[in-house]
Structure 1
């Protein structure tokens, strides 16, 4: 058998070495990004808003804003076709997001209290408008950096490593807020956030400026219509948007329920979220390996009953010890949501045409973002309406209703839409 020429092997090795370097950069960039995001979202975001004096409906609105601005990704997907460099546009957008979000930590120190919440919402909104542009650019770049043959396993490993780090940061942040309650604790967290936000921006400079295969369309409307005319893509996307509307009625407000209604401290809340993350990490490896054998859509379908079950488990608070139920619900949710997020991402970067991928990504983000916006917004309003209802309706009644609706949606429509063609 003839061996390949030496020059051909050398080119192959250089290409492999370059790919490996790019994957290392993408992985290490996630380290400061994870620390930054963990300390500013989830329970810490809810806690900081409560510290600023926000109501449940305001908290729901803030949690929903990050998904509403995803609609802007459609415009971004068209505009990036005109860019000479995706990399530097990505660095600029991400830097604006990081700087504006970290600046919210200064609000209690420089403004009167009656302006705290409204100023936070203003800065947060502009920050996430920049972030939605950065997200399109990053997804476009990373889909070109990661070869299709290793996508499932690479993102499984990357997500596992970063979520392990996130778990440690989450727990440490909870300890800090319990030991230093109020403004002192949040000041400490924001100091750490400022350091790693700056680090994240610097590491982004090391991303390669890869070749961009642009759309064959150069006008907005024809490009916009490409995903709309893809029937299989649109059916799947609209179904997942409906699913996320239901899911986000309650899930983003779990921290509110546990902090405000169950009076759980930050350290215990951190342990609950760490347990969720640990099982989510383990599921990444499992889902990644399954993805080598089964399609993205089929595996997405398998995740839905798991997520619905995690919501129904909250109903056991009526008969079982609180922490046992909460840990179980978080663990089951971690397994389900880990698979859902990973497979949904693989779906939009793997099951879509490469040249049109930015618009496909934008369409997916816009439709799921719109539904995810109304989810926590409606959920926050409902919690405000039922404030004087029996305590159980606020603590686990909502979760039971939502869990039943999600299970019905998965069984009645999911099996028909998320199937192999």
Structure 2
């Protein structure tokens, strides 16, 4: 029987709207962030510091581990050149990110495999190799995602993606803190690492569904001419060197906040999780605000506006001398979330939006290398300073460092930032 004859009069058949390839690609990129966020939240920040303390690490060793992730970014310069030779960015990305996920998750086996006196050394070796792999994987992911997300929807897409993933990260962070408070010591970390293994494997699987988007390669075929492209861009280099100096100061204290609160102030994991969740919630709220402002003002100008906010968050620690501990810590974390949310989003937009598309991998690598070196020496120096002042009055270790660094950041923002991060 002819189907057309059986249609009821006045009723049109529903047309099934097929999702575009573009929309599906963005959906895959968003779903990939779910296992990635769970995996990374449970292995970094307060949980990384807590696990290192459980292994017996000192403040300088903790500072070194926290700094390693940025030091290896220097290798991105070589990766930026090598990806020009790749027939497929996708499978190279999957390979390196897969290595990073497996090796980082494997650090949970350290107490079961190595003698106690070698726990910290074994962790550092495995952690270093994992982040060397991540240097290549992260570079490839940034290159792919910048081609995957069109410029016209980039701000909105990353705002929505970041908000959703940070909300998820907040829940995971709080849950992880509850687990460690209920099951202190090795038992709690074993539970966390079981969850980590589940989501590290699922994350690798989801990465396999990423599209292999076309790659617009550099016009330069040799390493040195390609390397010199960003170096000859004066506006880019001035901004990058300034941001590197800023991150050096910021990282003297911020990565060691968890060390101060856990080791010196004896704050429990659940409270620490609530502090970090409050920071993340306000960071998410700031994405919307900074995103709307970005429609009217340039990336560089808005980056400048974020700097005093971050400096103020560090200065607020000084109020611990006269006010109750928890209100001050919540206020400082909230202020930092507002500032660093804008800083991270705008710095990313600056790299993938304000640079030439064909030369973008080398520009991204140069930015990552310079800011990575600065961010490496920050926690390393900060950890050493905490060792030097261990016999000083307790207030110098709990909030004195933060106040001094906050004043230096504010001076840097007002004296140099206003000249460098201005619209040309």
TM > 0.5: yes
1:37-52 to 2 correspondences below 5 Å: 37-52=40-55
Aligned 1:179-198 pairs, distance under 5 A: 179-198=182-201
TM superposition shift of 1:111: 1.2
**Where does 1:149-164 land on structure 2 (aligned, <5 Å)?**
149-164=152-167
Report the secondary structure of 1:99's partner residue.
Answer: helix
1:118 aligned onto 2:121? yes
Shift of 1:236: 0.3
Question: 2-side partners of 1:202 and 1:300: how far apart?
Answer: 36
Tell me how far 1:56 sits from its aligned partner.
0.2
Alignment: residue pair count: 408
- The CA deviation string for residues 143-192 of structure 1, in whole angstroms up to 9 with x for no partner, is 00111011111111100000000000000000000000000000000000
Answer yes or no: is 1:250 the counterpart of 2:253.
yes
Q: CA deviation at 1:286?
A: 1.0
Provide the secondary structure at the position in 1 that maps to 2:296.
coil
Structure-to-structure mapping, 1:312-391, within 5 angstroms? 312-391=315-394
**1:240 has 2:243 as partner:** yes
Once residues 198 and 55 of structure 2 are traced to their aligned partners in structure 1, the CA distance between those partners, rounded to angstroms, is 23
SS in 2 for 1:201: helix
Whole-Å separation in 1 of the counterparts to 2:247 and 2:221:
32
Show the counterpart of 1:63: 66
Choose which of 83, 95, 102 in structure 2 pairs with 1:99: 102
Instruction: Give distance in 1, aligned partners of 2:95 and 2:115.
Output: 31
Deviations 1:31-70 (A, max 9, x none): 0000000000000000000000000000000000000000
Residue 293 of structure 1, CA deviation: 1.3
Q: The residue matched to 1:366 in structure 2 has which SS?
A: helix
* Aligned-pair CA distance for 1:17: 1.4
Where do 1:53-92 residues align within 5 Å? 53-92=56-95
TM-score, normalization by structure 1: 0.96
In structure 1, runs of 5+ residues without a counterpart are 1-12
The 2-side partners of 1:87 and 1:237 are apart by 28
Task: Give how far 1:358 is off.
Answer: 0.2
Shift of 1:302: 0.5
Q: Residue 196 of structure 1: CA displacement?
A: 0.2
Report Cα offsets for 1:291-327 as digits up to 9, x if no partner.
1111110110000000000000000000000000000
Q: Within 1, Cα distance between the matches of 2:212 and 2:148?
A: 10
Residue 243 of structure 1 and its aligned partner are, at CA, apart by 0.1
Residue 207 of structure 1 aligns to a residue in which SS?
Answer: coil
Aligned counterpart in structure 2 of residue 206 of structure 1, from 193, 205, 209:
209
TM-score normalised by the chain length of structure 2: 0.96
- 1:290 Cα deviation from its structure 2 partner: 1.1
Q: 1:138: which partner in 2?
A: 141
Residue number in structure 2 paired with 1:29: 32
Q: Please point out which of 296, 308, 312 is paired with 2:311.
A: 308
Larger Rg belongs to: 2
Deviation at 1:21, TM superposition (A): 0.9
Report the Cα offset of residue 107 of structure 1.
0.6
The RMSD of aligned alpha carbons is 0.8
- d(CA) in 1 for partners of 2:148, 2:292: 20
Range that drifts further, 118-127 or 285-294: 285-294
The structural deviation recorded for 1:110 is 1.6
Shift of 1:289: 1.4
Instruction: Tell me the secondary structure at the aligned position of residue 41 of structure 1.
Output: coil
Alpha-carbon distance, 1:95 to partner: 0.3
2:314 & 2:208 partners in 1: Cα distance? 41
User: Aligned to 2:359, what secondary structure does the other structure show?
Assistant: helix
The CA deviation at 1:219 is 0.3
CA separation in 2, counterparts of 1:298 and 1:50? 40
**For 1:394 and 1:361, how far apart are their aligned partners in 2?**
36
Q: Render the CA deviation track for 1:316-357: whole Å, top value 9, x for unaligned.
A: 000000000000000000000000000000000000000000
The SS at the match of 1:40 is coil
Contiguous gaps of at least 5 residues in structure 2: 1-16
